[in-house]
Amino acid sequence: MIWKGPAGLSWRTLGEYLGVGSGGRRNAVAEVAGLGKFVKSRASHVSQSTLYGYLKTRAGTRFPELFENPVMLDSINIAKWHVWLACVSDLLLWVGGKMRREGGLDDAATAALMEGLAEELLGDCGVPPEAGVDFTAARARFLERVRDARWNAIPDDDTVFTESPGALVHWSPIADEFKSRDEEIVENSVRFRWIEVRREARRMLRPELIAADFSARTESA
Residue 126: C-alpha distances to residues 4, 58, 113, 156 (Å): 21, 31, 20, 30
Give the helix/strand (H/E) hosting 150.
none
pTM, to two decimals: 0.86
Q: What is the mean pLDDT of residues 67-89?
A: 96
Pick the residue with more confidence: 54 or 22? 54
pLDDT at 117: 98
Domain ranges, residue 166:
39-203
pLDDT at 221: 67
pLDDT at 153: 97
Total domains in the chain come to 1
In a domain, 106, yes or no: yes
pLDDT at 135: 97
pLDDT at 15: 39
In a domain, 22, yes or no: no
In a domain, 209, yes or no: no
In a domain, 1, yes or no: no
Backbone φ/ψ region at 10: left (φ over 0), alpha (ψ -120 to 50), beta:
beta
φ/ψ of 205, rounded to 5, equals -75, 135
